[in-house]
Amino acid sequence: MRVVAGLLGFSFYFFAGAQLEAGQAQQRSVPAQAAGAAQPHPIQARVEFAVVDENGVAVPGAQVTVVEPGLPAAELWTDYTGHGSYLLRQGEPYRVHVEKPNYYATDESGIAANDASIRIVLAHEQIVKEQVNVTASTPGIDTQQVADDHIMNTPEIVNVPYQTSRDIRYLLPFEPGIVQDSTEQVHVNGAETWETLDTIDGFDVRSPVEGTLDIRVNADAVRSITEETTRYPVQYGRSAGGVIALNTGMGDNKFRFNATNFIPSWRQINGIHFDKFVPRFAFSGPMAPNRAWWYDAVEIEYDNNYIQGLPAGADTGPVIRGSNLLKAQTNVTSNNIVTAGLLFNDYHTDYSGLSALTPQESTTKRNIIAWLPYLRDQWSFVHGALLDIGVGEMRFRDGYEPHGNATNTPYTITPEVAQGSYFENLTGRSQRQEGAADVYLPPRHWGGRHDLRFGLDLDRITYNQDQVRAPVNYLREDGTLIRQSTFPQQPSFTLHNDEIGAYAEDRWRPGDGLIVEPGLRFDWGAIVRRPLLAPRIAAVYAPPHARKTTKISAGIGLYYDQTQLSYRIQPYAGIRYDTYYASDGKTPAGPPQETIFTADDSLLHDPRAVNWSVAIERALPWSLYGGVNFMGKRTTNMFTFTNQSGPGALAGNYLLTNTRSDQYHSEGTELRKLFHNGYTLYVAYTHSSARTNAALDYLPTPSLFGPQQGGLSGLPTPSPLGPQQSGPQPWDAPNRTISWGWLPFDVPGIRWFQKNWDFVYDMMWQSGFPYTAVNAAGEVVGAAGEYRFPAYIQFSPGLEWRFHFRGQYWGLRGVMENAADRLNSPIVNNNIDSPQFGVLSEPEGRALTARIRLIGSK
């Protein structure tokens, strides 16, 4: 971190120490209420606005409307540091209106013209409201935002009745371009999960090796979720898929308490069964008023996980999970803010991987512990510059062990189900140490206004693994042995990777209504050891005659992925010996076939993607906002294992190469309707295609966890055997429609249903995922992704009743999840040798869930 601080300090003093030309924030005039009034003589007095939140943190992108008596109103937007400059045109007191989505709008009146500096506090929207006279900012078209981002703020997070509301990941698919698979992982615009950068409070929270979003946080702690799929800035590196950023809350000068979901839920599958109990609590308040605050968000979860089709008494897989986010902020001075946080997760189940095709005896006991301590130090300077430094360390311990003894009950895969004790006992420990520093400079003027920012980031990933493996048997439909895989024992291993990145970006306003963002990013990693340069450029244009109603965006850029360590660790699995047997199941058909996975780092390149997009947003009559977007992405140099013995060989040396190429394109449209008091309806449709030239993902061992090759089969399968081929991605959903909203539910003539009820719902329809057929030996049959699941359709309506009890304002909600009782099965038998080939299992079922939450105080 000394290197980061030194280089950033040099950058800061070099630019900030120079003589900066005084800049004027972008401002424009709109018709005043008193049209035709005489125009007073301008006095040329400049006022500087500083917009901060209730904790003194700068609020960038806030819209400030200045209204001087008798003059047209003027609008400006705060820069990266929360500052904006305005040139007063008369010496009379004036008023300002400030707003930004997810904040309560603020009005200040009677401001003296001789006040050269104005500080305005914009408070975040709260789940628990302490005041009834606050007004939320109205969402609209953000003409200052260049990236293709979709933001869910507190109203959406609280009101959308997404399934499995304990897990914020289940809300993500209700944004365009995000698809969730049955392992709870999300895919942004056709990308692998690990291609998306997932952050909490600005820190990378992906699993250091797998790159998956596994860490959990109390959903009530999340203030906003930002999804950036294209045109995102060079500040974000090593992520060709996109960015999902979760920002969490902080206490203020009031002691607050919130409790949610302390009513169990029940699910209708083959009768009524207890589903889950997930109480959530959040506490916050001041440590020193106006100087220091704390925040604590706790969740506890017990899931029953009933599996239809398994024997009675062995048809549940209970899960116990918990998380805690503890944060504190101290304003050392008005210009120095220090924030510290600790996120802790714990997970335990005795039957990990339980499904209709994997009984309890073939599952594993799994324990996961993860924690992330982090620290952020923010400095603001007198000339308007800002320095932000953050450090954090994520640690994961993930271990599982089988039930029983594989020697006595060997692990066996039949065409229908798995049997015996799981073949692998594994413990993995991973950690990511990360640091980042960003410098935001005051505006400069060279042919327009320039907002410059620079940054450095570095991380170090370490992974250690211990494993013990037993043989795996594969049976024919008649019960005879067709193949046996054995694995010589391998020693534990440790793998490291260091990565460093730097960027420079300019936010240039060359003319009225036009913003251009060029940027350049540099990355380097210790495994591949090749310097990477990624230029990007994007622009947004709002025509002067329709600035509040029309926005046109476009961009193109080069994006590099991280060095995905889940591929790099496969060579440590050692040799796999496969012995095939004659029809009697006893006579070997030949000598054991040897398979080994290898890697030569000097031959590797980092995956790269060229991403382009065009979008148009338009404000329509009746408070409707619509948009259309087009996107194309081609990712090359992706990792895949290639059999060096030839395309048709079933064994041999699988070398890690860069021969994989993925393609994605989409066309989408969306429409949002805003009503009074924040009520909202939203609908979006996306047509897309996600394909790859390496549809078969070769692995050295079977996998009990995660999506199976070519689909979400649920039956543990070996690495697919057969020549590589092109096909759809396992999460390809060509047609997809989502909708959600909340509306007042008033029934005339019925007193109980007047002003106290809301109707809430969510809906999703999407094409079924593809899957690939294999035979009893694990050999691919037919084309990759040749078969598909039925279309996924779910509709979940509900009602929320708001009432007063003991001086508090409460909300009681009931939701019927999957009200149409669609099958929506994530499990299919993909073994073509089985009479049950293509049979779906584990129906989603209909569930009645209840939620009670504290809304506010009387």
**What is the overall mean pLDDT for the chain?**
88
For residue 572, the SS3 value is helix
Q: What is the mean predicted confidence (pLDDT) over 141-165? A: 88
The two most distant CA atoms of the chain are separated, in Å, by 103
> Bigger pLDDT: 165 or 353?
353
Structure tokens at 722: 């057969």
DSSP 103: B
Q: Is the pLDDT of residue 9 over 80?
A: no
Q: What is the pLDDT of residue 546?
A: 82
| Token couple for 470 | 């037993």
Model confidence at 307: pLDDT above 80: yes
| Residue 95: exposure state from Cβ atoms within 10 A (0-12, 13-18, ≥19) | middle
Tally the C-alpha atoms within 13 A of residue 40's C-alpha that lie toward its C-beta.
Answer: 13
C-alpha 717 chain-centroid distance: 28
Q: How far apart are CA 551 and CA 560, in angstroms?
A: 28
| Helix or strand (DSSP H, E) at 466 | strand 449-469
pLDDT tops 90 at residue 127:
no
Query: pLDDT at position 15, please?
Result: 34
Within 8 A by CB and 6+ apart from 78, the residues are: 25, 49, 51, 58, 59, 60, 61, 62, 64, 84
What percent of the chain clears pLDDT 70, i.e. is strictly above it? 90
Phi, psi of 154 (to 5 degrees): -55, -45
In terms of Cα–Cα distance, which of 544, 536, 530 is closest to 517?
A: 536
Question: What mean pLDDT do residues 99-120 have?
Answer: 91
Please give the backbone phi and psi of residue 687, each rounded to the nearest 5 degrees, phi first: -110, 130
Helices (H) and strands (E) in the chain, counts: 3, 53
Instruction: Note the pLDDT of residue 289.
Output: 94
Other residues' Cβ atoms within 10 Å of the Cβ of residue 723? 12
Sign of CA dihedral 709, 206, 437, 122: positive
pTM of the model: 0.90
What is the band of 617 on the pLDDT scale with cuts at 50, 70, 90? very high
Above 80 in pLDDT, residue 375? yes
Residue 24: pLDDT band by 50, 70, 90 thresholds?
Answer: very low
603, pLDDT greater than 90: yes
Of 145, 138, 87, nearest to 116 by C-alpha is 87
Flag whether pLDDT at 41 surpasses 70. Answer: no
Q: Which of 64, 139, 144 is nearest to 107 (CA)?
A: 64
* Confidence at residue 21, expressed as pLDDT on a 0 to 100 scale: 31
Does the pLDDT value for residue 581 go beyond 60? yes
Q: Tell me the pLDDT band of 136, cut-offs 50, 70 and 90.
A: low
What was the pLDDT predicted at 496? 96
- DSSP code for 6: H
